[in-house]
Structure 1
């Protein structure tokens, strides 16, 4: 098992160079990169064999980052985040300051605030949001543990974080879509 600070440092170096990483999140293992780097994002779409029209989730480590990407955040978003007992991804309207190829066709972006130490510290170093998409080829089941991740994914990333590889049983986050006129739609429970 790696040391947290070393792993954050190694992952940061790769991301700075436009690389993509395989890493543990607060839910399942994810493939990630700098959410402001369109070339790195394109690499993830290619690895997952996923159309660029299907956007990916972006992790953030606090309110400041959230406001940097969304000028207006509906009041209900804060209520949902406060009341959520499990990791929850919110889909919000009109993101900015992120790469265009991560924004969905309807001009929305899914975001999740995380406190998980690896992700949190990595974003502190990056000062940018971190892409997070499940570690599988598009259409295949989401791996719930490191050992379920296919060799194609492991070999296709630039760095594999050496933390929590023995942890199992993560679950994808709940996904809730909020429109600027405050409509709430549950996409995934």
Structure 2
């Protein structure tokens, strides 16, 4: 693997060497405004196969591509009105727009329903390289499956096997990048824009989403699915799940699902009589504390602060709050003044076993 220090090499030489690798079907690790990505010619089947070998990624899981402009994107996807709005307002930047593919890239990059996610990185050197190459390159984080998101050369070397490092032809070293969440991914192929992965950029005017659960186990699985959408934010802020619902609606089951997603093996009972419980957790990408609070016995919202709530608001921590009605105004105030991701979850009883679960976000 050849390493080019971007601070010490002339840009012309950097671009020339990168283009040589891409044209020969090689792999390049490059910096972006989010993290280090791994790039290959998105129209070259052999190059794309190397990406999947490096990532150790299952078939059927799509990969984003990076282009230099909306005009280039139009050659590869069908841009509708929803997508047009996103391109105009958020790109270049850490947002990926999923549209119907025109079938001009390697099919493995697309989803099984032939959609394709496109990024325009907010990184001038990368845009210059893509323009000079004249074709899109892959835009997936340069970590192998399940490993830490890479923000430096050291991250790559520490968490990548020698065998996989052998697949990399060139590393464009910009030094240690700021630790930021990956890009927000928005599907524009449906009637409403749908956030598939929440990143640092929040797309406004997207309504809350709704699930229907037919059992306690399904409620837990829904909680895990919702957490999966927001887990990338944990690197820079805590996640707060504000749970609303009648007695017996399943708020504690939802909290248990969050705990399972965080690989917590101990039982998670309701903390009604002690106000809160805490559970250290460690996953492949994060470690922190899961706080489970119940404010039912509180007489006023300020009691939440008396519990030391603000000390719980560290990055990587996950907080589930049951019976939030008494502390709702406090939470809203905190979310406006503090760097948090606040997910409002409403659980409605439809029958003895059936629940409607709606969630929306304030970030």
TM-score by length of 2: 0.48
- Cα distance in 2 for residues equivalent to 1:83 and 1:124: 21
Shift of the 182–73 alpha-carbon distance from structure 1 to 2, 3 Å rule, reads farther
Gaps of 5+ in 1: none
2:167 alignment counterpart? 156
Q: Aligned pair count?
A: 186
- Cα distance in 2 for residues equivalent to 1:176 and 1:188: 7
Alignment of 1:53 with 2:60, yes or no, is yes
1:18 alignment counterpart? 25
Maintained 8 Å contact 2:67/2:118: yes
- Cα distance in 1 for residues equivalent to 2:74 and 2:95: 17
RMSD: 1.9
Residue 47 of structure 1 deviates from its aligned partner by 1.1
SS class of match (1:22):
strand
Residue 115 of structure 1 deviates from its aligned partner by 4.2
Greater relative CO (CA pairs within 8 A, separation 6+)? 1
Match of 1:90 among 76, 97, 108: 97
Residue 154 of structure 1 deviates from its aligned partner by 4.0
Rg comparison, structure with higher value? 2
Residue 151 of structure 1 deviates from its aligned partner by 4.1
Match of 2:118 among 106, 111, 114: 111
- Cα distance in 2 for residues equivalent to 1:14 and 1:134: 18
Gaps of 5+ in 2: 199-363
2:179 alignment counterpart? 169
2:81 alignment counterpart? 75
Alignment of 1:183 with 2:189, yes or no, is no
Q: Deviations over 1:85-129 (max 9, x none)?
A: 851001111332111121111111110123412211111111000
Maintained 8 Å contact 1:61/1:115: no
Residue 28 of structure 1 deviates from its aligned partner by 0.9
